[in-house]
A and B are shown apart, each in its own frame.
Chain A
Amino acid sequence: SQQGEEDPQALSIQEGENATMNCSYKTSINNLQWYRQNSGRGLVHLILIRSNEREKHSGRLRVTLDTSKKSSSLLITASRAADTASYFCATPVNNAGNMLTFGGGTRLMVKP
């Protein structure tokens, strides 16, 4: 069963705009991960945020985690056409740590 669910399912923006994707989950977690998938390719890890962290940055990416609301957001600033991809959040299964459950993803299109 899926733990994380992304919102929106699809997002279309112009180059230079910011893109925000949200992830909600159901049970307590000790970390949450975001991945990116280009069409027809494997997933690439973007950021891991732990339950004791509220915000984390990596280049143009900013991830927040609100454990009280069981939600996370991924912000991509100053988007580029190359950011066009699907973005997935993933959470540990039963906090076992070795297994992840993935949401259905947000499909982002950045128009040049």
Chain B
Amino acid sequence: DGGITQSPKYLFRKEGQNVTLSCEQNLNHDAMYWYRQDPGQGLRLIYYSQIVNDFQKGDIAEGYSVSREKKESFPLTVTSAQKNPTAFYLCASSPGPDQPQHFGDGTRLSIL
């Protein structure tokens, strides 16, 4: 059963702490994306990757970092530099340009 798996579902961050959100896909998609969603709002792009070992900043990359060492995996680190990290984070993948994106079920990050 192909899809995108995000973990954990809920995550809590302490002051000054970096946390990493996991995103794994078994759809064999080249492109992967990270979005942030604030309550009642649309999605904003944090980072995206079109291919292994390559990624580009989105609209709100400050305070976040990513890696793409494997096609299946695109982890997102929320660093201590991100002062307002409380949000719902969504990972997506797509097979290529102008194709639908497939989404995971998100990670909800909160501050302790």
Contacts and interface: CB of A to CB of B under 8 A. Distances in A.
B98 interface: yes
B48 interface: yes
B41 interface: yes
Interface residues of A, number: 25
B98 A99 contact: no
Given A40-B106, A104-B42, A96 B90 contact: no
Interface in B1-57: 4, 6, 31, 33, 35, 40-43, 45, 48, 50
A29 to B, nearest CB: 10
B105 interface: yes
B103 A44 contact: yes
Contacts of A96: 97
Interface of B: 4, 6, 31, 33, 35, 40-43, 45, 48, 50, 58-59, 88, 90, 92, 94, 96-106, 108
A105 B101 CA distance: 17
Given A99-B58, A101-B45, A103-B42, A42 B103 contact: yes
Given A42-B90, A99-B58, A88 B105 contact: no
Contacts of B97: 96-98
Nearest to B98: A97
Given A42-B104, A98-B31, A99-B48, A30 B98 contact: yes
Most A CB within 10 A of own CB, among B40, B100, B103: B100
A36 to B, nearest CB: 11
Most B CB within 10 A of own CB, among A1, A48, A98, A107: A98
A20 interface: no
B90 A98 contact: no
